[in-house]
Chain A
Amino acid sequence: MTLLERMAPPEIITTNGHLIDYLFSYTTIMNLIFFFFVCLGLFGFSYLYSSKRSAKGEYTYGNKKKQQAIVGYLIGASVFLLIDINITRMSNDDMLNEFWNFPKAEEEVIKVEVLAQQWMWNFRMAGADGEFNTADDVLTNHDLHLPVGKKVEFRITSKDVIHSFFIPNARLKVDAMPGRISRMWFETTKTGAFEIACAEMCGTHHYLMKGRLHVHSEEEWNEWYNEAQNLADIGNDNDNIDNFWGWKWESEQ
């Protein structure tokens, strides 16, 4: 494996993950240009004006109008206009158009409730009744099964300490906080098995809080879902009150 392959981020499996990589690359190019100039000044001046080559320093305070104009307008303003404004605008557009643009109530969307706990991910999907927190819910731990090409919305909370629901292949993470419900959505584009991580320090076994994301083709997923649905009545321990950790899904939350 070459070094570049090792350095590459995980494969993108969502419709909008590339936006984050694009902004990263854009910022990198801009940074390289500016850092090039910093290095040019730093090493270039160090070479040209070392005491060996330049016996005497120029006597200037650098507070003349022209000098300060170069510093303030040319360098200060160009950093702001070329980098800051651009990346802020791009990031803001991405957030408004994609990452904060949650699926509307009328859209067909796979809904998943997530409960984080030390050190495990609990997932809940509504059963045939379409309601959350009922006896026929499909419950899984660690493993999350999703169909490809569908929008998925997560509602996430935590039972004990703060965790962070991180899907590297989607380039997204959001904290799972006790007492709050946070949200995330994406639309998958690829089938396969991927990893879910906890990205917020949550105790000694933080590193073992690893989940699996299985993205199936639609038929495969339907098959899985129907089977899980049938098993729910037998498999779910419905006498256990702890099993009903879910909550009613409000369409606008």
Chain B
Amino acid sequence: MTYVHGKHAAPKTFLSKYVFSFDHKVIAKQFLWYGIFFLFVGGLMAIMIRWTQAYPGEAFPVIGSFLFPETGGVIPPDTYSMLFTLHGTIMIFYAITPILIGAFGNFCIPLMIGARDMAFPLLNMLSFHIAAVSGIILLASLFFPLGGAAGGWTSYPTLSTLIGSPGSGQTLWCLAIFVLGVSSTMGAVNYITTVISFRAPGMGYFDMPLTVWGLWLTAILNAIFLPVLGAGVMLLIFDRVFGTTFFLAGAAATSGTGDPILFQHVFWIFGHPEVYILILPAWGIVSDILSFFARKPAFGAKSTALAMTTISILSTVVYGHHMFTTQMSPLLTQTFMTLTMTISIPSAVLFANWLGTLYKGSIRFDTPMLFSLGVVFVFGLGGLTGLYLGTVSTDLYLHDTYFVVGHFHYTMAASVLLGGFGATYFWFPKMFGRMMDEKLGKIHFWATMLGLNGIFFGMMVMGFAGMHRRLYNPFVYEHLEKLLPISTFVTWSAILMGFAQIPFVINCVISLRSKKQAPDNPWNVGTLEWTIPSPPIHYNFEEIPTVKCGPHEFGNPNLPEGKDFQYQTEDLVKA
């Protein structure tokens, strides 16, 4: 090995540069393409699901007859179950997690805190390779006899035990989730350590950009709760493969009895924090971008960071609201209901701070900003509709209806997706050294926004009208027949949202192929990643920077004429 100034030389070969790279920027891109691939797979599944909901019994257009030749192109009911199971699994674990946490976590954390790489580069590399193995296991499970997992992404036993899912698809699903849990835990440990010990000199915790705060809190939740899910699916594998009865009860439990509800507890102890694991990076990114483009310091940045911390802590003690219909003891139910409600206080603080940032700003509506404003809108809808599900009595009606589907897609899908797109437009010049096209970006934003609100608001409407989830053909119920036109509207909104991604793909391709080099700091932002070239050099920083002020220094009246921001490496300009 050649050492240059105490650093490894930049890798030269294809394998060491693009496949077995220790470089956090390369690993970030690996996660990005991995996530975008699965986003496409999961999105296609969503369209197929929506098709059966609008045109039950009709052949899926274009590719249907190729995928389902035995039914003439109609999606059969067992395949439908697999589709919604894998749509959920893929979107949560294989699309959003790699894009928001894997890609932007890896890319932003070292650059924004002034580090040359992650604390454990080898662990970082393994984290991606293990995720790739997990993805292969999941996709392979589809080709086993009886097909892939079909018990819902929650895969409640006893449906997910041999009683309800005899095929090996479900076992492989558990294995894939377990392996992915290992990968994510590795990433999480790495992020936590990096943030704690690799911050540039002078950077206190409250001098970190809020993006890093969001990613850091996410990593902490991940490190604590993914092992819980790992334990749960491992016990499920034991039940399936080795004949144990952790989750079996009733007539099927011939050799001793366990409890299927135990799995729900284990699953949701992980599952509720998971919601925040997904949304926290988006919150952080949005809090930063709003300030960057309003040309104004983030309003109450410290209280935003503390509100995110509070929500992370509260998220660990509210999971019972997913299980109200299992008839827990009234005392537990009341406790979970009350604790759930308290989450709205820090959430209200977040919203107030976001709007406070916009107030008296000088707002520039570039594409990243549009997406961030979009997050504020859709997360407002998603957050407020959570109240209906937090109160027990309304939950008794709405639980497991499309109202829930609409609600959690607003929070977990719409907000996170918009946040992820905003981040992509924002950091694309730093990642690839090319600007993305603004016009295509704006078309992408408005079409996506229109589509997703049509889908998820439509779903909530259907849910309140009584349509429950995961029905192959809801219209066998007479009281749901009247909802067919709304369902069709939702489907066409989904198709619109699918087509809305074409400008994004074109934009990516055109930008990557363009010869025009992006400036080092196209957005005029002062955080550390914008002090270095686009794309950054090997090991990011020639000299480790010293941080002298906060990340949101905009509009300081003492700045010289013609300048409205300052870098974190500069002394705060005083009068």
Contacts and interface: CB of A to CB of B under 8 A. Distances in A.
A139 to B, nearest CB: 18
For the side of the interface on A, what is the size category?
A: 35 or more
A9 interface: yes
A39 B365 CA distance: 17
Contacts of A31: 384-385, 387
B396 to A, nearest CB: 5
A30 B351 CA distance: 16
Given A178-B249, A199-B400, A201-B81, A45 B359 contact: yes
B77 A207 contact: yes
Contacts of B296: 57-60
Contact of B468 (A84, A166, A175): A166
Nearest to B471: A207
Nearest to B555: A57
A49 to B, nearest CB: 5
B476 A202 contact: no
Contacts of A200: 156, 325, 400
A24 B341 contact: no
A20 B470 CA distance: 23
A81 B467 CA distance: 32
Given A72-B349, A179-B257, A1 B555 contact: no
A3 to B, nearest CB: 8
B344 interface: yes
A173 B290 CA distance: 42
Interface stretch (A85-93, A128-136, A141-149): A85-93
Interface stretch (A106-114, A157-165, A222-230, A232-240): A157-165
Contacts of B338: 88
B252 A178 contact: yes
Interface string B130-169: 0000000000000000000011100010110001100000
A57 B554 contact: yes
A157 B361 contact: no
Interface in B237-272: 248-253, 257, 259-261
A19 B393 contact: yes
Interface in B379-398: 380-381, 384-385, 387-388, 391-394, 396-397
Interface of B: 77-78, 81, 150-152, 156, 158-159, 163-164, 248-253, 257, 259-261, 294-303, 325-327, 330, 333-334, 337-338, 341-342, 344-346, 348-349, 351-353, 355-365, 373, 376-377, 380-381, 384-385, 387-388, 391-394, 396-397, 399-401, 461, 464-466, 468-474, 476-479, 482-483, 485-486, 554-557, 564
Given A84-B387, A91-B393, A94-B393, 13 more contacts: A35-B380, A41-B359, A42-B358, A42-B380, A50-B362, A51-B364, A57-B296, A62-B298, A68-B300, A79-B345, A88-B338, A91-B394, A203-B159
